[in-house]
Amino acid sequence: MCEALHVPGATALEDLDDTFWRLADQGYARFLQAFAWVLPYRARLPEWTQTLAVSKTIQTVLKTRGLARDTLAVVLAQLAAQGPLAAPVADFQTRILLHLEHQAAKLPAGATWLASSDIIESVFGHYKAFTARGPLKEVGRLVLLIPAFLCELTAPVIREAMASVRTIDVERWVHMHLGPSMLARRRRALRPAMKTA
């Protein structure tokens, strides 16, 4: 195609035209090789797009705000902006909203519960990344860092935490709930036997 641009004369344009259509036909043939299976579903794609939009909207609200008794109102407000839906999508949305309403009705008034494990997975991902730097892979006293992954650490927050929790209380909690660390247990197990008189 580039050669046709450099050749002077009237035939250059004709060659360019022929080259363009030949390449377009090759591109279309490659497109069909990859996506021909989608063509029979072309009429249903708008419905699938709407279904995905409804699902994504509900999922986003539940992941960011949790599940509470007022969640349904928030979801409905978000979904109203999407406009009219195809009949199968409207039916799908109705079934999902009924299920959401049923689940939210089980919650105590004023309570908000996690609706997704994403937050927990993220917290433990942060914990795992933090503890990966250490030599021992265990759930030990560093588990007390988990609340730090859930909030923004500012100087006043750190000051309040250090002023309100005594070190001895933390040590007692660790001893009562976690016991000795893996390293302490290893040292105890490998310590030479003490001679008793």
- In which band, very low, low, confident or very high, does the pLDDT at 135 lie, cut at 50, 70 and 90? low
Write the pLDDT tens digit of every residue in 36-90.
Answer: 898 898 889 899 999 999 999 999 999 988 999 999 999 999 999 888 999 999 9
Of 138, 130, 127, 131, which Cα lies nearest the Cα of 184?
138
Number of Cβ within 10 Å of residue 75's Cβ equals: 23
Instruction: Report whether pLDDT(171) > 90.
Output: no
Helix (H) or strand (E) holding 30: helix 10-35
Least confident of 9-13, 180-184, 185-189: 9-13
pLDDT attached to residue 26: 86
Q: Please, what sign has the CA dihedral across residues 184, 186, 189, 193?
A: negative
State the angle between helix axes of 71-80 and 87-105 in degrees (0 to 180), rounded to the nearest 10.
160
Query: Which pair of structure tokens corresponds to residue 129?
Result: 């990344």
How far is it, in rounded angstroms, from Cα 175 to Cα 197? Answer: 31
3-state secondary structure of 7: coil
Least confident among 31-35, 172-176, 189-193: 189-193
9: pLDDT confidence band, cut at 50, 70 and 90? low
Instruction: Determine how many CB atoms are found less than 10 A away from the CB of residue 178.
Output: 14
Q: Quote the pLDDT of residue 23.
A: 81
pLDDT one-digit tens code per residue, 110-131: 999 888 888 788 888 887 887 7
- pLDDT category, 95, cuts 50, 70, 90? very high
The Cα–Cα gap between 62 and 75 comes to 9
Which one is predicted more confidently, 30 or 144?
30
The pLDDT assigned to 194 comes to 65
Mean pLDDT of 135-148: 72
pTM above the 0.75 mark? no
* Average pLDDT across the chain, whole number: 83
pLDDT of residue 175: 83
Task: Flag the least confident range among 12-16, 42-46, 91-95.
Answer: 12-16
For the chain, give the percent of residues with pLDDT over 90. 31
Question: What pLDDT does 195 receive?
Answer: 62
